């Protein structure tokens, strides 16, 4: 099992290319099930979650191919993936595959919309709270599907096809909105989604669906209207840059000090997090090239945050920000409002010397903490990268175990940081 070794204390200087967004690539790949024509996705990140989803889609009959690297392309240029679901050979998504990645549950929507039935195992994925799928199933029921749960499987049926309806989410759900968008695109009649997620990855999916022939209005707002069509076609689509990867490296630079250009990053995708970094005293400069993050010498101010659906501060940057706040010139308060139990990084950060007190869904972070290297364990995707960030600023050596969590969501993490001067390496195959 690979580990990552980090010796802290180096400033980060240079250029980090930002990859395509994992959370956009996954639903876009799943949307390929909606059409018998070929879908071509550019700028897809090289991640284990992407590879796993290709296997899952392959199980349903999707032919997937990755095009070779073009001349002059660096390792970090995203891949081009073509997906062709000419014939769906199986409408079952088995437990062995779905339990390894929660987002793969979303195949329920295109399978149901196109084939009239789907049998999909209840999901697994990151261990951050209960993460139910009741709202996703509610959305499908509003579109006329019958839903049964049997032996851990959701059996969704709509033999005569789905029909448009009103889906009013009581809570903002990204996955629920993806599912509703895909299903409604092939339903008979009009669907309205109220309280839709406004995350940029939802907009990216909607834009791709439009290229495939879907009729969608209200993209990027909380009220989306979809006029169903009888068939969708192929499309070419470029995956948008990863705002969570962007924010993560921005926090790494804020943590160590230094000056890094995050190439290809888009500030409109993470205004809230960038604003928080500016409040903390970090310089943020945006240009056509990307976002430049700079902190030279000056201390970090403590900032209180609360995670919120987009455009608020993303829950996927909460752990990283907590690591950063251990070095602020004062105490801060972090309120997690999206997921219960998303504080598993706290005890691992404590191994590096962090002083964080939990009270329900609020974490109180003591600033001015001296961090020191230690062996730590990655627990979930975002939690594990917070340990990397903390280790970059800690005195001495940190070994991060279970880095397969990182490989799910961060492309070439150690290479990107190494090229900016971090003392970081991957130790292969050791326990």
Task: Candidates 14, 132, 152, 299: give the one binding ligand UD1 (CB under 6 A).
Answer: 132
Of the two residues 200 and 373, which places its CB atom closer to ligand UD1 in the complex? 200
The span from the CA of 255 to the CA of 324, in Å, is 6
Active-site entry in 25, 98, 113, 126:
126
Q: How many CB atoms lie within 10 A of CB 315?
A: 18
Determine, following the binding rule CB under 6 A, whether residue 156 of this chain makes contact with ligand UD1.
Answer: no
The span from the CA of 431 to the CA of 414, in Å, is 18
The two tokens of residue 150 are: 């049997």
Residue range at the interface with ligand UD1 (CB under 6 A); choices 133-141, 210-218, 227-235, 345-353: 133-141
Task: Candidates 15, 95, 339, 364: give the one binding ligand UD1 (CB under 6 A).
Answer: 339
What strand order describes the sheet that includes 153-157?
92-93, 117-121, 153-157, 146-150
Task: Candidates 32, 191, 256, 315: give the one binding ligand UD1 (CB under 6 A).
Answer: 315
Cis geometry, peptide bond prior to residue 223 (ω within 30 degrees of 0): no
Matching residue, tokens 């969608």: 216
The span from the CA of 276 to the CA of 291, in Å, is 15
Of the two residues 23 and 386, which places its CB atom closer to ligand UD1 in the complex? 23
Task: Candidates 133, 181, 206, 291: give the one binding ligand UD1 (CB under 6 A).
Answer: 133
The span from the CA of 192 to the CA of 218, in Å, is 10
The two tokens of residue 49 are: 């979650």
Task: Candidates 270, 338, 354, 363: give the one binding ligand UD1 (CB under 6 A).
Answer: 338
Determine, following the binding rule CB under 6 A, whether residue 135 of this chain makes contact with ligand UD1.
Answer: yes
The secondary element (H helix, E strand) that includes residue 15 is strand 12-17
Residues 402-431 as x/- pattern, contact with ligand UD1 by CB under 6 A:
------------------------------
Q: Determine whether 126 is an active site residue.
A: yes
Task: Candidates 192, 207, 316, 348: give the one binding ligand UD1 (CB under 6 A).
Answer: 316
Give φ, ψ of 318 to 5 degrees.
Answer: -65, -45
Subset of 80-119 contacting ligand UD1 (CB under 6 A): 102-103
The span from the CA of 32 to the CA of 39, in Å, is 6
Determine, following the binding rule CB under 6 A, whether residue 200 of this chain makes contact with ligand UD1.
Answer: no
DSSP letters spanning 345-359: HHHHHHHTT--EEEE
Residue range at the interface with ligand UD1 (CB under 6 A); choices 91-99, 134-142, 276-284, 394-402: 134-142
Q: Which residues bind ligand UD1 (CB under 6 A)?
A: 23, 26, 102-103, 129, 131-136, 171, 173-176, 201, 315-316, 338-339
Residues assigned a catalytic role = 126
């Amino acid at each position: 099992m690979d580990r990552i070794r980090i010796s802290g204390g180096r400033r980060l200087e240079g250029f980090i290319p930002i990859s395509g967004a994992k959370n956009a690539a996954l639903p876009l790949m799943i949307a390929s099930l909606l059409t018998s024509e070929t879908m071509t996705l550019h700028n897809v990140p090289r991640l284990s979650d992407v590879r796993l989803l290709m296997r899952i889609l392959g199980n349903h009959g999707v032919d997937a191919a990755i095009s070779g690297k073009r001349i002059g392309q660096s390792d970090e240029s995203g891949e081009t993936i073509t997906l062709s679901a000419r014939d769906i050979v199986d409408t079952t998504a088995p437990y062995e595959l779905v339990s390894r990645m929660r987002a793969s549950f979303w195949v329920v929507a295109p399978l149901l919309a196109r084939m009239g039935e789907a049998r999909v195992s209840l999901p697994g994925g990151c261990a951050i709270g209960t993460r139910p799928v009741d709202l996703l199933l509610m959305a499908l029921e509003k579109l006329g599907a019958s839903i049964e749960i049997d032996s851990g499987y959701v059996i969704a049926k709509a033999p005569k096809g789905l029909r448009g309806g009103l889906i009013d989410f009581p809570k903002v759900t990204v996955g629920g909105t993806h599912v509703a968008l895909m299903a409604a695109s092939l339903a008979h009649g009009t669907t309205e989604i109220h309280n839709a997620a406004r995350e940029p990855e939802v907009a990216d999916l909607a834009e791709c669906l439009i290229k495939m022939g879907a009729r969608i209005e209200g993209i990027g707002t909380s009220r989306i209207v979809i006029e169903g069509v009888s068939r969708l076609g192929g499309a070419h689509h470029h995956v948008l840059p990863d705002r969570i990867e962007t924010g993560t490296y921005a926090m790494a630079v804020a943590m160590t000090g230094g000056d890094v250009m995050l190439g290809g990053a888009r500030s409109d995708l993470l205004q809230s997090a960038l604003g928080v970094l500016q409040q903390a005293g970090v310089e943020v400069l945006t240009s056509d090239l990307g976002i430049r993050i700079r902190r030279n010498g000056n201390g970090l101010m403590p900032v209180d945050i609360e995670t919120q659906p987009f455009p608020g501060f993303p829950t996927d940057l909460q752990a990283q920000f907590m690591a950063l706040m251990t070095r602020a010139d004062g105490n801060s308060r972090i309120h997690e409002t999206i997921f219960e139990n998303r504080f598993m990084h706290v005890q691992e950060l404590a191994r590096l010397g962090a002083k964080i007190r939990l009270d329900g869904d609020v974490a109180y972070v003591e600033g001015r903490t001296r961090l020191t290297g230690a062996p730590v364990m990655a627990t979930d995707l975002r939690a594990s990268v917070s340990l990397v960030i903390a280790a970059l600023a800690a005195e001495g050596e940190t070994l991060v175990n279970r880095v397969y969590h990182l490989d799910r969501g961060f492309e070439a993490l150690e290479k990107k940081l190494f090229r900016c001067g971090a003392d970081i390496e991957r130790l292969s195959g050791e326990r």
